[in-house]
Amino acid sequence: SVLTRSYGERAAHHSNPAAKALLETMERKKSNLCVSVDVSKKDSFLSIIDAVGPYASLIKAFAPRLLLTHVDIIEDFDEELVKQLLELSVKHDFLIFEDRKFADIGNTVVLQYSGGVHRIASWAHITNAHPIPGPSIVSGLASVGLPLGRGLLLLAEMSTQGSLAHGAYTEDAVHIARTRRDFVIGFIAQRRMEGVGLYAGEALDESEDFMILTPGVGLEVTGDALGQQYNTPRAVVLEAGCDIIIVGRGIYGKNNAVDIAATQTSAERYRKEGWRAYEERLRR
């Protein structure tokens, strides 16, 4: 089963270059941690990334984009930021995941992904999309991303209280992904989803390996004031069978005044916890 296969071995089961590179760097750096950096100033953004670089495998980058309320984040976004971000990604050997959560019709997402101010496809190795429009959103994004060697994650579930992404919706997300394995490299979800959308068990083709990336991970608190819900790295990786823990405020704190030493200590703590849970899972 996928659960007892190492990240390094699993790299061979992906044809998508972003998935391969991600699994390989995870193995190489002994890290299944993705750091989410939701801060609004370029300087803070870059200094957090530089600080956690040695500890994270994937920085979830928030470059603000045209439409979504979610990316009201970096106020001083410019080309220089993208350049520096890419330099850091080489320096620290991480991939960039723009959590853009595309959700529009194929024609619009093609434009949003390739162009606009942020030109996400030109720098983000991985991005994600809501499956709500149906398979056309994946086709649209693939037409831009595949030639560039990019990968897509589908949002099958969310970490928030009362999320509508469950049941048949989640099943359908998995179903869509299975038809586009060249581009869809995994899911944002809260569990392995074995059996969901016929993804798992005997129905699984050997090559059919999806990564599960999971936000809502924290060691200190169980949630925030706005519906976020946290689980521990151990619960997420060992019990729920997810592959990558996404951690934000648990690592860099709450504001733009970055405490580098504290950020590094927490990043290492989450990396260790996530990796330990993964090693325990392999032994099961």
| Residue from 51, 36, 6 nearest 24 by CA | 6
Residues that bind ligand 5IU (CB under 6 A): 36, 38, 99, 155, 158-160, 188, 215-216, 228, 246-250
Catalytic-residue membership of 101: yes
Distance of alpha carbon 186 from alpha carbon 128, whole angstroms: 9
38 a known binding residue? Answer: yes
Q: Considering the complex, what minimum distance in angstroms separates the CB of residue 180 from ligand 5IU?
A: 19
Residue with token string 């325990």: 280
Distance of alpha carbon 82 from alpha carbon 86, whole angstroms: 6
Q: Residue 258 in contact with residue 42, Cβ under 8 Å?
A: no
| Residue from 60, 63, 55, 53 nearest 37 by CA | 60
112 a known binding residue? Answer: no
Cβ-count burial of 191 within 10 angstroms (0-12 exposed, 13-18 middle, 19+ buried)? middle
Catalytic-residue membership of 172: no
Residue nearest to ligand 5IU (CB): 248
- Beta bridge pairs of residue 231: 217
Q: Say which of 60, 104, 209, 243 is annotated catalytic.
A: 104
3-state DSSP call for residue 46?
Answer: helix
Q: Considering the complex, what minimum distance in angstroms separates the CB of residue 147 from ligand 5IU?
A: 26
249 a known binding residue? Answer: yes
- Cβ closest to ligand 5IU, residue 89 vs residue 228: 228
Q: Say which of 20, 99, 172, 209 is annotated catalytic.
A: 99
- Cβ closest to ligand 5IU, residue 151 vs residue 216: 216
Q: Considering the complex, what minimum distance in angstroms separates the CB of residue 49 from ligand 5IU?
A: 14
15 a known binding residue? Answer: no
Binding site members: 38, 159, 228, 248-249
Can you say which residues are annotated as belonging to the binding site for substrate?
38, 159, 228, 248-249
